[in-house]
């Protein structure tokens, strides 16, 4: 009942209100990124959503497109701008996804939408993360985010799928606010961003 009916309504109402509230922040960050990224404000990419159906996600662009002499993109840490690092550390890069929630492609709370190429790398159990809409924040995000392994993250995603409820969503939203202020789990110890998921051995 909650997942099928109440949650979509709450997502629409809350995302609409949040867009109105944070609109000054959206405008300010857009202005800073225009300067830092030479006019490129948003990052758009196809991601799998509910039942693996692909949609286009939008985020603030925190990295430039600098390439090496062979035409390959430089490592994430070298392309992350000063403005982008601040925007990422405060999780403001996620704010444009409120429009995806308003549209119905995403939820405020749910497993994070990952790359399309990961779809055939999941074990059957890990693939269950697509049984609900992806979220701006989720159970894995408030329990380590990028500081935990992919396997741990997927276990937390599936746990959320099996235990989804109104009170759990409220708990995750409140913990998200706390984590954002503490700036916990933004990256792992080896890289500026999460490393690529290659698949789980023996799954």
pLDDT value at position 145?
Answer: 76
β-strand partners of 193: none
Whether the predicted pLDDT of 192 surpasses 80 = no
Whether the predicted pLDDT of 100 surpasses 90 = yes
pLDDT value at position 190?
Answer: 47
pTM of the model: 0.85
- Indicate the pLDDT class of residue 84, thresholds 50, 70 and 90: confident
Sign of CA dihedral 149, 154, 159, 164: positive
Q: How many percent of the chain have pLDDT more than 90?
A: 63
Q: How far apart, in Å, are the Cα atoms of 117 and each of 125, 140, 148, 154, 188?
A: 17, 20, 21, 16, 21
Q: What span, in angstroms and rounded, lies between the C-alpha atoms of 103 and 97? A: 10
pLDDT tens for 18-69 read: 999 999 999 999 999 988 888 889 999 999 999 999 999 999 988 887 888 8
**C-alpha angle with apex 185: 179 to 191, nearest 5 degrees?**
155
Q: How far apart, in Å, are the Cα atoms of 197 and each of 52, 107, 146, 175, 187?
A: 17, 23, 12, 26, 15
**Could you tell me which residue, 83 or 130, shows the higher pLDDT?**
130
pLDDT value at position 80?
Answer: 84
């Amino acid at each position: 009942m909650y997942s099928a009916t109440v949650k979509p309504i709450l997502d629409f109402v809350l995302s609409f209100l949040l867009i109105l509230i944070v609109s000054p922040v959206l405008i300010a960050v857009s202005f800073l990124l225009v300067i830092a990224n030479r006019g490129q404000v948003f990052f758009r990419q196809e991601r799998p959503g509910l039942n693996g159906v692909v949609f286009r996600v939008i985020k603030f662009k925190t990295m430039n497109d600098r390439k090496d002499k062979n035409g390959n993109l430089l490592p994430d840490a070298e392309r992350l701008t000063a403005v982008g690092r601040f925007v990422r550390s405060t999780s403001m890069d996620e704010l444009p996804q409120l429009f995806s929630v308003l549209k119905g492609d995403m939820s405020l709370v749910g497993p994070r939408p990952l790359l399309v190429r990961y779809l055939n790398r999941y074990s059957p159990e890990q693939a269950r993360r697509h049984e609900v809409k992806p979220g701006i924040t989720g159970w894995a995000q408030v329990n380590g985010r990028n500081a935990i392994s992919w396997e741990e993250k997927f276990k937390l995603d599936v746990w959320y799928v099996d235990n989804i409820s109104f009170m759990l969503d409220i708990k995750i939203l409140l913990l998200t606010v706390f984590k954002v202020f503490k700036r916990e789990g933004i990256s792992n110890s080896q890289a500026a961003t999460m490393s690529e998921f290659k698949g789980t051995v023996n799954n």
